[in-house]
Chains A and B, each alone.
Chain A
Amino acid sequence: MKLDQDAKYQDSHEWARKEGDLIVVGISDHAQDSLSDIVYVELPVIDDEIDKGDVFGVVESVKAASDMYMPVSGEIVEVNDALEDTPEVVNSDPFGEGWFIKVKPTNLDAEWDNLMDVDAYVASIEG
């Protein structure tokens, strides 16, 4: 299982990583592996404001549709348009090319520390 040591995680298997003032969001390697081949990704519209814990998109794999939940509250400033034509990069590079959205956070100080670090996330999977 691949991991990003610098990212934070939540129970629903999204990761969040700081990039300047923004937060990049994707799903973990563990998540893409259990979903199997990803064939379609539905992403939000730029400028959408979405609260932590709310659904921001859907991943469709050959197996099932899975909602994706915001790890932090904020405004969507960028979406990964490349996933429209090549959703399989979520499988091959979940922490890199397979990112989903970039968020301008609105409540980061309160929310960041509530996310799991990599060790806590691994423990939660193996739990």
Chain B
Amino acid sequence: MTKPKELKRTNLYDWHAAHGGRMVPFVGWEMPVQYPTGPKAEHIATRAAAGLFDIDHMGQFSVGGPDAEAYFNRLTTWDISLMQVNDAHYALMCYEDGGIVDDIYLYRLPNRWFVAVNAANLKKDLAWMQAQAAGFDVSITDVSDETYMMALQGPNAIRILQKLTNVSMNGVPRFTVAEGLVNGINTLISRTGYTGEDGVELFFPADQALSMWEAILEAGEALGIKPIGLAARDSLRFEPSFSLYGHEIAADITPIEARLGWVVRLNTDFIGRNALLKQKLEGPSRLLVGFEMLEKAMPREGYEVVYNDEVVGKVVTGLYAPTVEKFAGHAYVPAAIAKSGTEIYLNIRGKLKKAVVIRRPFYRPAYK
């Protein structure tokens, strides 16, 4: 018998536990899935006021060197030449066959590049990025341990942050970054997030986690801030139709199938380009769709999609979406039935329940 792998804890573990956070294993970490008022209240608070997320399990790499731009153009699907200094952009790393290694966030800083990756993929991503660096003059450093990552999201997020920082947030538009002091702590402020709300993601020295967390909660207290667990984080990213690795995207799913074609710039020579160009021209055989239940029932990941009495696909995300108040999800289905308005059935614990393919997103991001 091998011992169960030890779960890692963030520097806020004690805070979460002391404040009723329900700690669960999540990709090798012990993270709060919810706090006492429950996921729905957390979700609604983030849409209506502000939510604070401990996302330190995520990985960060610092990348430097004269060939960095050329390297990222080869490594990722995005056209890196479009990124100015202090821009942040979503991107994908693909295999030669077009399957997705991971989805990442790229930050172009004045003197270096910064990359945020999924916790579950950290080691795989680092190995992949190092392997692809051959022939480029770049250095890649895993700075995950010393860097803390926290997200502050919601319509009141910027007002709350502004109380604590010397950086004028009016000068930091959506999808850009700035470096400055937040609560007296040297912080990389990125006006990004994964909830469909305005807000920021903060990177700063890991030993300052508790001071930063408590300062933001205090600054946000009168503005309705709540700490947010994994369950609400999932429904918040689902409503605006953002992908989550291991669900909407994976090594055997391409960006075209996942409807992430907007991140794929075929004018650059990135890894996987030829496969994706071919798939784009021929048309993918399956596609990600959004659906909502027409008959009241809870769809869950892994449930079968049935069309004309045949199992044609699987649910990859299924949940109750609190803002739109619908039972809804994402599923992969044959391209022929991916049109919105198509009626499908889901096998929900042995009973077929009617659903309909609908246009994504369920919730249009507030900053658009």
- A residues within 8 Å of B by Cβ? 36-37, 39-40, 42, 58, 60, 62-63, 65, 84, 88, 91
- B residues within 8 Å of A by Cβ? 22, 33-34, 38-40, 231, 235, 296-298, 300, 319-320, 327, 349
| Chain B nearest CB, measured from A55 CB (Å) | 11
In the bound complex, do residue A40 and residue B296 qualify as a contact, i.e. CB atoms below 8 Å apart? yes
In the bound complex, do residue B231 and residue A39 qualify as a contact, i.e. CB atoms below 8 Å apart? no
Jot down 14 A-B pairs with beta carbons below 8 A, ordered by A: A36-B33, A36-B34, A36-B39, A37-B39, A39-B40, A39-B320, A40-B298, A58-B349, A60-B297, A62-B38, A62-B320, A65-B349, A84-B296, A91-B38
| Chain B nearest CB, measured from A97 CB (Å) | 17
Contacting residues, chain A, for B39 (C-beta < 8 A): 36-37, 62
Contacting residues, chain A, for B297 (C-beta < 8 A): 40, 42, 60
Contacting residues, chain A, for B296 (C-beta < 8 A): 40, 84
Contacting residues, chain A, for B33 (C-beta < 8 A): 36, 63
Contact of A37 with B349 at beta-carbon distance under 8 Å, contacts A62-B231, A63-B231, A65-B298 already known: no
The interface residues of chain B, by DSSP majority, are classed as mixed
In the bound complex, do residue B40 and residue A37 qualify as a contact, i.e. CB atoms below 8 Å apart? yes
- A-B CB pair tally, cutoff 8 Å: 37
The residue in chain A whose Cβ has the minimal distance to the Cβ of B349 is A65
Contact of A36 with B349 at beta-carbon distance under 8 Å, contacts A62-B39, A62-B320, A91-B38 already known: no
How many Å lie between the Cα of A37 and that of B321 in the bound state?
A: 12
How many Å lie between the Cα of A63 and that of B39 in the bound state?
A: 10
The residue in chain B whose Cβ has the minimal distance to the Cβ of A64 is B300
Contacting residues, chain A, for B38 (C-beta < 8 A): 36-37, 62, 91
How many Å lie between the Cα of A36 and that of B349 in the bound state?
A: 20
| Chain A nearest CB, measured from B23 CB (Å) | 13
In the bound complex, do residue B349 and residue A62 qualify as a contact, i.e. CB atoms below 8 Å apart? no
Contacting residues, chain B, for A91 (C-beta < 8 A): 38
